Amino acid sequence: MEPGLLRDVLTLAVGLCSGVLSGAFGVGGAIISTPGIRVLGVSPLVAVGTTLPAIIPSAVSGGLRYRREGLLDWRALRWVVPAGLLASVGGALLSGLVPGEGHLLQLATAALLGFSAWRMASDRPTPAGDEPAGHDEGEAGQRAATPASQTVRLAAVGLLAGGLSGLLGIGGGTVLVPGLTQVGGLSLRSSVATSLVCTGIFAVPGSVTHALLDNVDWRVALLLAATVVPGARLGAAASLRLGDRHLAGAVAGFLGLIAVAYGAGELAAIFS
């Protein structure tokens, strides 16, 4: 699709949808905005770089809402963020070296989403844990201490998530949400909140690196950013109304659908 008013309006709609999903599921929103702007005619590698700047305002907006609810885990942030920041720059630098003109990166995204969906569906909380959001978890989470072995695992989650943020332009939330839940021991709701903040931080160096590599279409990026903030607020509010079991099912189903759409779209592009 050629640049123009219609594409701008559709880009705004993509930004709103990605904001809602980032706020609800803590995944950064680029798993919607990246294929969305691909459909609108943005090339694969530029699509990877362009979605990263739009992640930042949605993460800030949704993160502030979750912070007011006391759901951010500051211990996890302390270990995940430094490792992820370093890895995000490396991932962005590697993105141009992967063969396939960006198509292989998108197929890797589909595989990652499918795996994350399977893990989330397998580990859904029992009905007894299906409680609505509350204020009793505290900003430091439910863990009184972080053992040395757990901090190493949290740092490893950060390295993988940050690397994927720079390499695939998806914010890393697809790794962080299941990783913080299964490795870090956080509740699903706290994982969603903490992941959203991490993805916003990871997107900063990745955005700068892709901009220096001329992989960012700033017109598209600014249009996406204009609507992700109200979308993120809506998504966070919706997530807070769900019990953990229903939230886990929603996250798993969402990731699975996007995995199928990603994979099918890129395979069609490769063989067309």
| pLDDT of residue 136 exceeding 60 | no
Read off the pLDDT of each residue in 87-103 and give the average, rounded to a whole number.
Answer: 72
pLDDT digits (tens, 9 = 90+) for 242-254: 766 777 777 778 7
Sign of the four-CA dihedral 256, 262, 268, 271: negative
Tokens read off for 211: 């901009």
Kindly compute the dihedral angle of the four CA atoms of residues 184, 189, 194, 198, in this order, to the nearest 10 degrees.
100
pTM surpassing 0.85? Answer: no
Sequence letter at residue 188: L
Q: What is the pLDDT of residue 9?
A: 93
For residues 259 and 224, which has the higher predicted lDDT (pLDDT)?
Answer: 224
For residues 167 and 28, which has the higher predicted lDDT (pLDDT)?
Answer: 167
In the structure, what pLDDT confidence band is assigned to residue 12 with cuts at 50, 70 and 90? very high
For residues 231 and 146, which has the higher predicted lDDT (pLDDT)?
Answer: 231
| pLDDT of residue 220 exceeding 80 | yes
